Amino acid sequence: MKKRLEEELGIEKVSTNETELFRHSHDESAHAAVTPDIVCFPESTEDVTKILSVAKQFQAPVTAYGVGSGLEGQVIPVKKGISVNLERMNKIVDFSPKDMTVTVQPGMTRIQLNEEINRYGLQFPIDPGADATIGGMTATNASGTTAVRYGSMRDQVLDMEVVLADGRVIHTGTKAKKSSSGYNLTGLFTGSEGTLGIITEVTLKLHGIPEHIIAARCTFKTVEECAEAAYTVLANDIPIMRMELVDASSIKQVNEYGDYSFPVAHSLFFEFAGAKAAVEAQVVLVKELMEELGCEHWDIAERTEERNEIWKARHQMAYAFRHQKGKRFLGTDICVPISKLPELVHYARNLLEESGLHGGILGHVGDGNFHTLSLFDVDNQEDRERSERMTDKLVLKAIKVGGTCTGEHGVGLGKMKYQREEHGDAVEVMKSFKRLLDPDNMLNPGKIFN
């Protein structure tokens, strides 16, 4: 197969180098690494088509790879075969500032994209923390800290070019802001995790850069109070830009890891953004609300460096837990109806305490989405099982109250077992789509469905 790929693509686009195989064997999750047989580096849609054609000939699995920042093992080639690294397809294909849209290749990262467009007063605001690729973010329907304002990737993608398993190249949408034409393939391919096709272009909506930004932190005695406070902000219809819950344990962890000195207390991190007067009015109102709810401490950060420090710390929290020698963590990614948030946060905290595991609760509470991280020793099977049991309980509870097993990380390997519980018979419909578009189960096999 290597020879055929080299003939089709050129030798510089094919590698079986050990280091490359290792790099493409894992992501940022605790899921077991599996090396691919070969890594390819396509430079065009045509290259991707060629790879799929060779793969079909050899009945080899094909798994797309962005930068490996995923958290559910989506890029791990569990059935071996070809890992398709899209890093060389990282150009802007078409940029229309007037339309506030851009078409990019899938390997462009969100920071690269923003560097190109910020000077036009435009931004692409979806922010999962990591500097993920647009292709990876689209494939997992990623979101992050700004979802409370801008939604998920699915809300931002207008069109995709996708190479199907049989080599057909299709466009899923158009560049119009809305359409009622045909079936909505854009939404379907967004979040399909490379199991239905390989994304080779993505057209995104862009947004103006807010005139003024203020960040704030406030602390409460309990995580439950934080969750109630977050709910109060939403109920008052305040158009916040970010609103993050971080429990005391996570604060402690990031202080140690990143040399910060945040007060070790259950906290809400806020960002307010927009026209200056509107932002200032929002800050006054939220401060009042938080004080009424009995917050212990309220702090604002108006200077860019202060603000950046807060969000940098927030983004480092998962890493802070992960990068302890010999430790791994499992994380939930549940998202529930907002009114259920305090109840679920309470439930999560109790489970964490009962389990005796070290961990933390943090997340995008403006969407009802939060993560419960539980650490275990790599070699301690019993700890890992305790962590798994806790995760199971929390996810099943979230589904029971009308929520989802994954708000933003995707299904990958870790959330497969909850698909039937969450979707019921709809899983059979999903599986039938998979069989229809990929009858040989070549595209990222072993993900989403068993």
Cα separation, 145 vs 269, whole angstroms: 10
Based on CB atoms, which residue is closest to a second copy, 15 or 203? 203
Based on CB atoms, which residue is closest to a second copy, 185 or 264? 185
Output the smallest distance, CB 190 to a second copy, in A: 7
**What is the sign of the dihedral through the CA atoms of 427, 174, 70 and 169?**
positive
Subset of residues 263 to 302 that bind a second copy, contact rule: CB under 8 A: 277-278
Q: Are 259 and 265 in contact (CB under 8 A)?
A: no
- Residue 369 touching a second copy (CB under 8 A): yes
Short-list 406, 172, 360, CA closest to 256: 360
- Residue 235 touching a second copy (CB under 8 A): yes
- Residue 69 touching a second copy (CB under 8 A): no
Based on CB atoms, which residue is closest to a second copy, 229 or 248? 229
Output the smallest distance, CB 82 to a second copy, in A: 23
- Residue 212 touching a second copy (CB under 8 A): no
Which residues make Cβ contacts (< 8 Å) with residue 332, sequence separation at least 6? 348, 370, 371, 372, 391, 394, 395, 398
- Residue 192 touching a second copy (CB under 8 A): yes
Contact region for a second copy (CB under 8 A) — 13-21, 57-65, 321-329, 395-403?
395-403
Cα separation, 447 vs 76, whole angstroms: 9
Cα separation, 150 vs 406, whole angstroms: 18
Output the smallest distance, CB 107 to a second copy, in A: 21
Subset of residues 323 to 342 that bind a second copy, contact rule: CB under 8 A: 333, 335-339
Question: Which listed residue (53, 112, 114, 184) binds a second copy by CB under 8 A?
Answer: 184
Contact region for a second copy (CB under 8 A) — 4-12, 135-143, 286-294, 371-379?
135-143
- Helix then strand then coil, % of the chain, to nearest 5: 40, 20, 35
Output the smallest distance, CB 280 to a second copy, in A: 12
- Residue 367 touching a second copy (CB under 8 A): yes
For 106, which DSSP code?
A: T
Cα separation, 63 vs 84, whole angstroms: 6
What is the number of other CB atoms lying within 10 angstroms of the CB of residue 308? 12
Contact region for a second copy (CB under 8 A) — 48-56, 168-176, 254-262, 439-447?
168-176
Question: Which listed residue (99, 116, 296, 309) binds a second copy by CB under 8 A?
Answer: 99
- Residue 376 touching a second copy (CB under 8 A): no
Both tokens of residue 321?
A: 């837990």
Cα separation, 184 vs 202, whole angstroms: 15
Question: Which listed residue (408, 443, 444, 445) binds a second copy by CB under 8 A?
Answer: 408
DSSP-based three-state secondary structure for 163: strand
